[in-house]
Structure 1
Amino acid sequence: MKNIFTFWILLLSAITLKGQNTEDYITEHATIAQTLMHEHKIPASLILAVAIHESASGNSRIAQYLNNHFGVKGPNNNSEIRSSYRDYLSAEESYNHFVEIMETRSPFNNLFGKYDKYDYKGWARGIQRSGYAHSRSWASQVIALIKKHELYQYDERPEGYEEPVYKSAYKKKSSKSRLTKTYTVKPGDNLSVIAKKKGVTVKSLMIKNGLKKANLKPGQKIKL
């Protein structure tokens, strides 16, 4: 009997140490996320994903000791850990404060006019650009969490909703910029003159153009 009792104690301890899994976290907090979406027009999927990301699904030390699920810094009165993150009375208070930050602090409050309550991608990228996180991959990680756990199901998107398409932040170099630059030889030009004009060497011109002699003809195209 004693051995069985000890086994269950160890098993319960192992479960406790393992912490909460993400699916359980979503089930526990989906309702508050949807309530905030209805009241403030921020995607519930976005709220949940940011909380999962910043709190490690409620398993981070600041979530456990401070009820801080969004990585918000500030003073706290907790004596159990030393931290630069603020404390909350409950997880719900932390969720409400995150939305309050979005609504009252610039430039986050400008996002409400740019993105609707179904556009989680736009919101994630907008929050990152507004300085919420230093990591360049923050928005991509949040979006990946939404897709992985299908959090968009909590956004109550209307049937036929089409996600906005945004232009890439990085423009591809035009085909023109990839073309080899050339110079048309003018009367009186020689390799030394051209090299001086273009800031290159005679040797590089000869190698690029496969020249064995320095003789040039007017109208001839020279690769630079």
Structure 2
Amino acid sequence: MKKIILLVLLIGIGVSSCKSKKRYSDQLRTKNVLNERRKSTADISKKEENANLPAEPSKFVRFNIDSPSEYINTFAETAQIEMMGYGIPASITLAQGLLESGNGKGELAMKTNNHFGIKCHKGWEGDYDFHDDDAKGECFRKYNHPMYSFRDHSIFLTTRSRYAFLFNLRPTDYKGWARGLRKAGYATDPKYPQKLIYLIEKYDLHKYDKPSKKVDYQTTTVATSGASNIHTVQKGDTLYSLSRKYYMSVDELMKLNNLRSSDLSIGQPIKVK
């Protein structure tokens, strides 16, 4: 009788063990599938975000910049391209770049091409390096070319809800942007707004807040046909995003194009000023 009971127990343990192994195997398989889906989605998202940038160099490109004026001359066009694509004033981007990167000569900028002091944060899957900031050995994002730092700065501000109110400001309101960045928690320095405003006014950076004909718009999401002032609607375009790109209100766009609704179709021509 004892042998029978022992045999039953052993069989039960064996069945339970098989079930546990199968359950663990199923959970592991499901986890792997989910991870692959997340990775695939992240890769697609990253490709879309950087679709309008030249391919990032495979090796680290070091920039040797001697002065604030040289920094501005080097990156003014890049800041304007980002402004046209994301609605962030070029003056603000340049002032933040000057301040955060130490005119491009700071230790962090030199070893990571990170011109905006953006830390790794949760979800960052790119390259990184460690640098002493608020605490010792903090994780900062690393790029092989500064242009990708500028694009990441644009994405960083446009994808975090705490900065959303900034995009309700006039595109030329650099003072409002400077104060708003501090209010939203971009920097802990209480004098951060004054420093940005000082740089903007000292170097006349606000002149870059108006689109320049010299900017190569082929590298942006903007598609216009020059003299005819026609924008061809692309994926992701909305009347609001177009209003910021062309310094027009949504009402002006609707009246100019005789639109009765805000719905847009890909390939649709839109008159702009």
TM-score tier (shorter): 0.5 to 0.7
* Match status 1:63 vs 2:63: no
Matched, 1:132 2:178: no
Task: Give 1 or 2 for the bigger CA radius of gyration.
Answer: 1
1:20 corresponding residue in structure 2: 66
2:194 alignment partner, SS class: helix
- Aligned-pair distance for 1:142? 0.4
The DSSP-based 3-state class of the residue aligned with 2:69 is: helix
Indicate how the Cα distance of structure 1 residues 23 and 104 shifts in structure 2: closer, same or farther if over 3 A, else same: same
Aligned ranges for residues 155-166 of structure 1 at < 5 Å?
155-156=209-210
Matched, 1:112 2:167: yes
Identity of matched residues, %: 35
Q: Is the 8 A contact 1:70 1:98 kept in 2?
A: yes
Find the aligned partners of 1:94 and 1:79 in 2 and give their Cα distance. 16
Match of 1:123 in 2: 177
State the shift of 1:87 in Å.
0.6
AA matched with 1:36:
E
Is 1:90 the equivalent of 2:160? no
Deviation digits for residues 17-66 of structure 1 (CA, Å, limit 9, x no counterpart):
x9520000000000010111111221111100000000011001111110
The 2-side partners of 1:40 and 1:129 are apart by 20
Query: The residue matched to 1:46 in structure 2 has which SS?
Result: helix
Counterpart residue identity of residue 91, structure 2: S
The alpha carbon displacement at 1:105 in A equals 0.7
| Larger RCO, structures 1/2 (Cα 8 Å, 6+ apart) | 2
The answer to whether the 8 A contact 1:42-1:116 is kept is no
Query: Is 1:154 the counterpart of 2:200 in the alignment?
Result: no
d(CA) in 2 for partners of 1:101 and 1:56? 20
Size of the aligned set, in residue pairs, is: 140
**Counterparts in 2 of 1:119 and 1:84: CA distance versus 1, 3 Å:** same
Shift of 1:117: 1.5
Question: Equivalent residue of 2:176, what SS?
Answer: helix
* Alpha carbons 2:78, 2:147 under 8 Å: kept: yes
Q: Alignment partner for residue 101 of structure 1, among 144, 149, 156?
A: 156
1:98 is displaced (CA, Å) by 0.8
Q: Quick check: 1:118–1:155 contact (8 Å CA) kept in 2?
A: yes
Q: How does 1:34-73 map to 2 (within 5 A)?
A: 34-73=80-119
Structure 1: which 5+ residue stretches go unaligned? 1-17, 158-224
Q: After the TM superposition, which segments of 4 or more aligned residues of structure 1 sit over 3 Å from their partners? A: 75-83
Which residue does 1:30 correspond to in 2? 76
Deviations 1:159-206 (A, max 9, x none): xxxxxxxxxxxxxxxxxxxxxxxxxxxxxxxxxxxxxxxxxxxxxxxx
Deviations for 1:78-124, whole angstroms, at most 9, x for unmatched residues? 599965221112111111111111100121122112x1211111111
The answer to whether the 8 A contact 1:42-1:117 is kept is yes
